[in-house]
Structure 1
Amino acid sequence: MKHCWYIGLVFFVIMGCNDDVVPKPKAYLRLEYPIANYVKTQVDDIPFSFEVNTLAKKITEKDIKSTTESYGINIAYPSLKGTIYLTYKSINHDRNNLLAFVKDAQNFTQKHTIKADEIIDRAYENKMNKVYGMFYEVGGNAASQSQFYVTDSVEHFLTGSLYFYAKPNYDSIFPAAKYLEKDIKHIMETVKWK
C-alpha cells in the first residue's frame, strides 16, 4: 500500500513539473542612452550650419577636394562606435550637376539592397529654410543603417550616411542605430544654408 502511495506521489510530481514549451518572444538589448542635447555647429568654413548632439565628437575634413565646392564632415560617436559622414557639394548649373548628385545619392542607398531586409524612404521638406530631400532607413545587416540627402535645388547639396565600426549585425546595433537615426533627422531639420 505504501509503495502505491509513493508511486502515485512520484507520478503526480513528474506530471506536475511538465510545463508547456513556449517560445520566447524576439527581443533586443535594452541600452540606455542619454537624452540628446543639441548645439549649433561651430564650423565657419562650410557653407551651411546644423545642430549636432553634444554626445558626438565632430571632426572636419577638407581633404575630399581641396576646393570650395566640396566639404566632408565626420561626426563621430566614440561611445556608440559609429560615425555620421556628411558630404557637401556645390551645385553648378553650368554643368547641370544637381540631377547627377540626386541620382548618386539614390544609387548609393540602393547599393545596400543586397544585404538590406528593407529600405524605407521618407521625403523631407522645409520651405522656410529651403531644405528639401529624402531620408532612408535601411533594415537588416547592411553596412549603413541610415542615409539622407538635402538640397536647396539652387546652390547646395548635402548627403549623409551612418556607419558603425563593427561587422553589420542588425540585432546588435539596432539600439544605437535608432538613437543615431534621430540625430540624423535632427541634422536634416536644422540645416541652414549660408
Structure 2
Amino acid sequence: MKKYFLLLLVILVFQSCKNETIPKPKPYLKLQYPEATYVNYNFNCPYTFEISNLATVHLRDNCWLKIEYPHLKATIHITYRSVDNNLNEILTEVEKLTFEHTVKADVINAIPYENFNKKVYGKLYAVEGDVATNIQFRVTDSVKNVLAGALYFYAKPNYDSILPAIKYIEKDIIHLVESLEWKK
C-alpha cells in the first residue's frame, strides 16, 4: 500500500510541474453607483431644474450654483448670466473656456440640445483626456438668459480612472438640462 501511495505522490508531483501557462482574463474594476432620484430646485433665480438627491446644492451670489457630489469628490460649478444684447459675446466666452482644453484633450465632442417648447437651447461638451474638466455645458433661451456649467473632480486628472464617475454625473447633467425651465 505504501508503494502505491508513494508512486501516486511521485506521479502527482511530476504532473503538477509542467510549465503550461494559461491566459487569464483581463480584470476590470466594477463600480456601482446608487440610482439617483431627482428633486426640483426652485431658487429665487430666473431658472429652475431638477438635480440628483445625492448631490448637495449651494446657491451663491448672482444665481451661481455649486452642486457637490461628496461621495465622488466632484463639483459642478454653474454660472448664470443675463443677456443684454451680448448673447454672442457670452456664448463665445463660454466656448473659449471649453476649447482651452484642446492642448491636453484627446477629443472634444459637442452634443447639441434643443427644446422649442421650453425655449431651452444648448450644448454639452464631453472632453476626453486628462483635463481639468471633462464635461462642460451651456444653455440659453437665446433672449435673456445663459446658464453654463463645468464638472470638476478633486483629484489629479486621470481620465481612465474617473471615467465611470464622469458617465454617472453626465446623466445627472443631461437630466438637469432636460428639466431646465426659464421663469417669466
User: What TM-score bracket applies, with the shorter chain setting the length?
Assistant: 0.7 to 0.9
2: CA distance, partners of 1:25 / 1:116? 27
Match of 2:70 in 1: 78
Gaps of 5+ in 2: 1-10
Aligned residues: 175
The alignment's TM-score, normalised by the length of structure 2, stands at 0.86
- For the pair 1:18 / 2:20, whether they are aligned, the reply is yes
Q: Deviations over 1:164-186 (max 9, x none)?
A: 11111112211111110011111
Match of 1:124 among 113, 117, 124: 113
User: After TM superposition, which residue ranges in structure 1, 4 or more long, deviate above 2 angstroms?
Assistant: 8-15, 24-27
Q: Aligned pair 1:40/2:32, yes or no?
A: no
User: What whole-Å deviation, never above 9, does each CA across 1:135-190 have from its counterpart, x for those lacking one?
Assistant: 11111111111010000110010101100111111122111111100111111101
User: Which AA in structure 1 matches 2:35?
Assistant: I
Q: Which residue of 2 aligns with 1:57?
A: 56
Distance 2:111 2:27 in 1: 27
Task: Spell out the pairing of 1:1-194 with structure 2 (5 A cutoff).
Answer: 14-15=17-18, 17-19=19-21, 25=26, 27=28, 29-44=29-44, 46-62=45-61, 70-93=62-85, 97-194=86-183
Letter in 2 for 1:151: T
Say whether the 8 Å CA contact 2:59–2:66 is kept in structure 1.
yes
Shift of 1:41: 0.1
Relative to the length of structure 1, the TM-score reads: 0.82
Which amino acid is the alignment partner of residue 76 of structure 2?
Answer: I
1:30–1:175 Cα contact (<8 Å) kept = no
Partners of 1:108 and 1:135 lie apart in 2 by 13
- Residues in 1 aligned to 2:15 and 2:76: alpha-carbon distance in whole angstroms: 61
1:136 maps to amino acid: Y
1:10 shift after superposition: 7.8
**What CA RMSD, in Å, does the superposition of the two structures yield over aligned residues?**
2.1
Structure 1 unmatched ranges of 5 or more: 1-7, 63-69
8 Å contact kept, 2:42–2:49: no
CA distance in 2, matches of 1:138, 1:79: 22
CA contact (8 A) 1:41 1:52 kept: yes
